[in-house]
Structure formats: structure tokens, C-alpha cells
Amino acid sequence: MADAESTIIIIGAGVVGLSTALYLRRSGRDVVVIDPLPPPGGASFGNAGMISADTSVPIALPGMLRKVPSWLSDPLGPLAVRPSYFPKALPWLMKWIAAGRMNRVLEISDAMRALHKEAFLCWKEMLGPENFADLVRPVGQVHVWEVDGESQGAALERTLRERQGIPSQTLGVDDLRQMFPGISQAVRRGVLVPGNGYTVSPQRIVQTLHRLFMEAGGKLVPESVMKIMPREGGGYDVMTNVGFHRARQIVVAAGAYSTRLVAPLGIRVPLETERGYHVMLPTPNLSLTTTISNKSRSFGVTPMEHGLRVAGTVEIAGLDAPPDERRAKALIANVRTMFPGVNTEGHRFWMGFRPSTPDSLPILGETAGRPGLFLAFGHGHFGMTGGPPSGRLISRLINSQTTGIDAAAYAPQRFGRR
Ligand SMILES: Cc1cc2nc3c(=O)[nH]c(=O)nc-3n(C[C@H](O)[C@H](O)[C@H](O)COP(=O)(O)OP(=O)(O)OC[C@H]3O[C@@H](n4cnc5c(N)ncnc54)[C@H](O)[C@@H]3O)c2cc1C
């Protein structure tokens, strides 16, 4: 049992769990990851792959309250709440709207910046230079709008970037035509954020983390955790569908499912799932050199190794409702509007669960009153960006090293303070 006592159990083998596992294993700790699915089985599989080190704009922004009626009445809008799920989501939505107040937006933006700014460095540190060059394209990201002149949202984004000293370049209609031949005349304005980038395969990059973890002597147990049980005298027993494990330290990194594991321990943190969709276009007949996020229509396109991924939309409907493929079809209509010549034949749909907090910041750190129980989830729209730095942060916290950033902004206890 001495070995088991010193082992760290990580629940969840998404980008967050495996980043944490790799950092901890390389620091010399014995690490066991538990996940029933071969990595990546969750949101880390089907995201848009954007690595947004230079993005520090929260999802909740001023003026959100006005939008509630449209969230409820338009099932295909960029943000929809299923009416039957609205009462359940209401407390989270209220916190979300409160996080959109300007004073909070500035604080959240600072904390996002602190966590995200070393995202590429962490990816490179974990993958090594060859895998990094194979999988990551640090070539910038382009945001576009279908309006002439700077919209209110674009102005706020610029203000937040300028506050942090993040470079960006405004793109006019001619720049956009040159960069993206075939782009529709409806697209009027753009911004290039050169410090951002993307991965050509979210699936393969997470599989590479898994391979590197195994090569470093880590272990993945293909089981589903049913309950975490605190032991008298310290440490935890973990009951799975087919097994039983014991450890002094546990990291819960089960993405959107994490609260199902910690709620029975009396740990209440506001986590909701913002369900998102993607459409994969295997032969799009377009060759893009960067990602494009269409801010007027709330979707993005990423040139991946197996085709073009069109991703986005937020649907608040919980973990159990079946996917609504009409939302994925709406993504096809959107990409056709932006690139009228795009070939959508052979398209494939996917839906995944973003693990989202109301303040766009992940929940990272040890829980109050439960020594050795660490939470590492809630990365929402930014897990491919914040996952690796979060893994490094949790590893440093567990190893009692200096964290390099103020971890209080992400602490599980912060919601009790507001
Ligand atoms: C459409 C879409 C587009 C996105 N685009 C981007 C983007 O461009 N850039 C970006 O940075 N982020 C993006 N994201 C967000 C990003 O994908 C997530 O934030 C990130 O993948 C979350 O990682 P995770 O490891 O916390 O969770 P997940 O990847 O969901 O992994 C959680 C793991 O926990 C396991 N698990 C669950 N319950 C249990 C249990 N009981 N026992 C054991 N294991 C369990 C699951 O099987 C799963 O493997 C996007 C998300 C979506 C849906």
C-alpha cells in the first residue's frame, strides 16, 4: 500500500488531465490516469484546435442580459438555451451575466492573460521541438466581421488586447481578399493576432501527450470513476466500474463531468456545459494558412490535416440531451456564406461538451477542507490554450513549487467569495 499511497491519481485523460499527468510524471512522481475512453475521448477530441496565447477576452461581456430572450427563442442562434433546461441553468446563467460587468471583465482578462501567455511554451516543453513543429502552427489567427467599421465588440477586444500589450494588425477588405482568395464580399474587416496559432490535429496532439506520458513511465487505467471516497487519516479511495484504487492525492480533470464526481463530497462549484458542434469538410477546395473566426456569425474555421474544421456555437442543454444536428447544419450554411466556393461534400458532424465556468476561468487548485483533492477543470472555450499551463500549475502546486503566477484567481474557493 506504500506505493499506492505515493501515487497520484488523475481522473480524466483529456488535454487537461494528460498535461497535468505529463508534468507530474516528468517531475518524478508516480502517476495513474483513469479514463474509460482512449484519449482524447471528450471535448479535447473535436475542438477547433485554436491555441490562443494572445487572447484574453472573456466569454461573458457587458450587455448580455439584453440577449436572454433571443437565447430562448432561437434554437439555431449562436447561443441557445433549451427552454426545458433553462430553470436548471438559471443560477449559472445569472453568475455568467454578473461576470460580464466591466470591472470583472478586466480582472478576468488579466487572469486569462497570466494563464494563457505561455501556452506555446508549455506545448513545446511537453511535446519537444519535433512533435511541436509537426503538430502546431504558431502563425497567428484572423478574426473577421461582416460590418464596415469597428463594432462595439471589436472595440472592446482591441481595448483588452491593448491593455495587455498584445500586438494585432487591422485588415481591410483588400488584405482579406489577398490572404483568403474566395472569401465573400460580405466580410468587411479583420484583425490578425500574430501571437496566436493552432494545431493541425487536436486528436493527434492529445494522443501524443498520452504516448509521451506512457514513455515516461505513466499508467492509464481504462475504467470509469464512480465515486471518490475520503479515508479516515487522509487520502482517498476511488471506486470505478471495475476496480478500486487508493491515493493520497487526486486530481479531478474529467471536463464537463467533473462536478458529478465532486458534488457528492459537498464541493459546490458552478460548472455548466456549453455544448459545441463541429463539421468536418474532408475536401473543402480551400487552402487556408491561418484559422478564421467570424465574429459576426460566431463560428471559426481551422485548416486541419484531414480537412477543414468548421466549429462553434453554444448550446446550453446539459450533459444528457441528444445532439441537435440542425446546429451543425447551420455551421455549413455559415461557412458557405463566408466562402461561397467551399465544397461541403462528405461532411461529418460532431458535438462535444465544453466544461465552462461563469467567469471563463478554469477551476484549479486544492479544495478547502479536502487535503490532497485537486480540481483541474472548467476551461470552457480555451482548453487547448489553457490546458498545458494548467497542467504545469497543478504539478507545481502538488510539488509545493512556486507557481510563477497568482493561483488565487483560479482557486475553487473563489465563487464563495463573490
Ligand atoms: C466545438 C468546440 C470547439 C472548441 N474550440 C477550442 C479551440 O479552438 N481552442 C481551445 O483552446 N479550446 C477549444 N474548445 C474547448 C476545449 O476543447 C476544452 O476546453 C478542452 O478540451 C477541455 O479539456 P478537458 O481535459 O478538461 O476535458 P475533456 O477533453 O472533455 O476530457 C475529460 C475526460 O474525462 C473523462 N471522464 C469523464 N468522466 C469520467 C469518469 N467518471 N471517470 C473517468 N474519466 C472520466 C472523459 O472520458 C474525458 O476523456 C472547444 C470546445 C468545443 C466543444
Burial class, 63, CB count within 10 angstroms (exposed 0-12 / middle 13-18 / buried 19+): exposed
35 phi and psi, to 5 degrees? -160, 130
The three three-digit cell numbers of residue 93, written as one number: 446563467
Tell the residue nearest (CA) to atom 31 of ligand 1: 14
Q: What is the pLDDT of residue 67?
A: 78
Task: Convert the pLDDT of each residue in 302-333 to its tens digit.
Answer: 999 999 999 999 999 999 999 999 999 999 99
3-class secondary structure for 143-174? EEECCCCCCHHHHHHHHHHHHCCCCCEEECHH
Each residue's pLDDT tens digit, 353-392: 999 999 999 999 999 999 999 999 999 999 999 999 999 9
Q: What is the pLDDT of residue 2?
A: 39
Of all protein residues, whose CA lies closest to atom 48 belonging to ligand 1?
42
- Bridge partners for 220 per DSSP: 33
Low-confidence ranges of the chain (pLDDT < 50): 1-2, 418
DSSP string, 53-67: TT----S--TT-GGG
38 CA distance to ligand 1 middle (Å): 13
Q: Closest residue (by CA) to atom 51 of ligand 1?
A: 47
Quick one: pLDDT at residue 69? Answer: 83
- Separation of CA 174 and ligand 1 centre (Å): 37
Supply φ then ψ for residue 260, to 5 degrees.
Answer: -65, -25
Going by their DSSP bridges, the two strands 299-304 and 307-316 should be labelled as antiparallel
pLDDT at 417: 53
Q: Whose CA is nearest to atom 26 of ligand 1?
A: 255
Residue recorded with cell 491561418: 290
pTM listed for this prediction: 0.97
Which residue's CA is minimally distant from atom 1 of ligand 1? 276
Distance (Å) from CA 188 to ligand 1 centroid: 33
Which residues contact ligand 1 via a Cβ below 6 A?
Answer: 11-17, 34-37, 40-44, 47-50, 224-225, 253-255, 257, 261, 276-278, 311, 352, 354-355, 377, 379-385, 387
